Amino acid sequence: MQRLTAPKSVKTNVFQSAPVRRAPGFTLLELMITITILAVGLSLAVPSIRSISANNQVAAANNSILTAINLARSEAITRGNAVAVCPSSAGKRCNNGKWNAGWIVFDDSDGNASPAVAEIIRVNSRSETVNRTGYAGSIIFRPDGTTTLGSNKTMTICYTDTSVSNKCRTITISRFGFVKSVDTTG
């Protein structure tokens, strides 16, 4: 019987183990470091997201009131008679209170500053997350686009939770019918 031997170019060692291959995936240490970095990043991002959301709610409330005021002025000019916008809790009559309860735009051609059902042009409901302060009366636009206000009136819209956001918007209504909105801090 002939003995088989390995060629001289191949070295063999009986005690040498097969090469160790690393399994694909993450080690526990790599996973824990990744989760820690993610947690720190989220803890920094969440407060700014709440602030962005609060600022967007203030902007939406501001734009809603601006739209109502500009609609009233536009309708007064278009219809050729007085149109008013006023705070209203039920959407049926003016309550000349806080604008937080909602507001209505109505045709005031009869000049009584009180809307009849047929005179109502638009009704807006309230927003719970913002606070509106300042002028709380009716804004009546004449057919030429000016108001019956004796002087400029302002109202400020702020987010109700100042720990989240202290950004506000102030709306100024001039007696000439021009409306301006600026960012302010509460």
Token pair 């705070």 is found at: 87
Does residue 39 belong to any structural domain of this protein? no
Does residue 68 belong to any structural domain of this protein? yes
The pLDDT score that the predictor gives to residue 158 is 86
Does residue 3 belong to any structural domain of this protein? no
Does residue 123 belong to any structural domain of this protein? yes
Tell me the CATH number at 178. 3.55.40.10
Q: Report whether 153 contacts 134 (CB < 8 A).
A: yes
**For residue 101, which of 143, 145, 132 has the smallest C-alpha distance?**
132
Domain that holds residue 72: 51-185
What is the value of pTM for the model shown? 0.73
Does residue 149 belong to any structural domain of this protein? yes
pLDDT digits (tens, 9 = 90+) for 45-54: 777 788 888 8
pLDDT over 60 (residue 154)? yes
State the Cα–Cα distance between residues 100 and 144, nearest whole angstrom: 29
Does residue 179 belong to any structural domain of this protein? yes
153-169 burial string, b = 16+ CB within 10 Å, else e?
Answer: bebbbbbeeeebbebbb
The pLDDT score that the predictor gives to residue 146 is 94
Does residue 16 belong to any structural domain of this protein? no
The pLDDT score that the predictor gives to residue 55 is 85
pLDDT digits (tens, 9 = 90+) for 120-136: 899 987 666 778 888 88
| Structural domains of the chain, count | 1
The pLDDT score that the predictor gives to residue 147 is 93
The pLDDT score that the predictor gives to residue 136 is 84
Highest mean pLDDT among 4-18, 87-101, 162-176: 162-176
pLDDT digits (tens, 9 = 90+) for 22-59: 777 888 899 999 999 999 988 887 777 888 888 888 88
Does residue 35 belong to any structural domain of this protein? no
